[in-house]
Amino acid sequence: MNIDTVNALPCEEFVNVFGNVVEKCPIVAAAVWSTRPFASLKASEAAVSEFIDALPESGKEGILGCHPDLAGRDLQRGTLTRESRGEQAQAGLDALESAEMSRMARLNGEYKERFGFPFVICARMCDKANILQQLSERARGGEGARRRGGEEDRPPASPGPRAHWLSGQVVSHLLQCKDSHYHQTYTWL
């Protein structure tokens, strides 16, 4: 699908195709649709980032809040989106042993308790050992988090930088995942 075809899609079709570019937030695709035509794929990606940047801080938190837990309830119930199911399966999260499941659930809970939204990582670029390690470090802010400059993982206290940090979290995740959700969407067509 080239950019002219994308630009010609009616809203419903556009949302049908790109609705999960931001997980469980089809409003992003529907909003971006009204800013078309896009000069290029890159321009359409930029429109997504700009829309997220323009959201109130609670909206940025809302995007993260809609994100499913890794190896969480959606995976167990079969209610994950196709994209997330594929990513979580690729990382081996659909075949955790009982002890791993319990550890993941406990750490997901600790992370949410600490930050107020779920742990988000590009699962298809990791394996389960790596995911568990990163989740553990970030949830508990241990040595690893400090080594990697743990401040990035912690929302700053003042509103301005916090909003900026939230945009950064969401947009970095999108960029990190662009070979999966976003670019795959184009490739699938």
Q: Which is nearer to its own copies, 117 or 182 (CB)?
A: 117
Of the listed 67, 164, 181, 183, which one is catalytic? Answer: 67
Interacting residues with its own copies (CB under 8 A): 10-12, 15, 19, 24-35, 51, 54-56, 58-59, 61-66, 69, 73, 112, 116-118
Nearest distance, CB of residue 107 and its own copies, angstroms: 15
Cβ–Cβ under 8 Å, residues 97 and 129: no
Nearest distance, CB of residue 112 and its own copies, angstroms: 7
User: Rounded distance, CA 63 to CA 166, Å?
Assistant: 10
Entry field: residues in the chain: 189
Task: For residue 165, give every residue at least 6 positions away whose Cβ sits within 8 Å of its Cβ, in sequence order, or none.
Answer: 152, 155, 156
Q: Which is nearer to its own copies, 51 or 182 (CB)?
A: 51
Q: Does 183 qualify as catalytic in the annotation?
A: no
Nearest distance, CB of residue 148 and its own copies, angstroms: 25
Q: Which is nearer to its own copies, 109 or 144 (CB)?
A: 109
Total Cβ atoms within 10 A of residue 113? 9
Q: What is the DSSP letter of 150?
A: G
Q: Which is nearer to its own copies, 61 or 153 (CB)?
A: 61
Nearest distance, CB of residue 25 and its own copies, angstroms: 5
Apex 84 CA angle, 139 and 5, nearest 5? 130
Total Cβ atoms within 10 A of residue 95? 10
* 70 three-class SS: coil
Catalytic machinery residues: 67
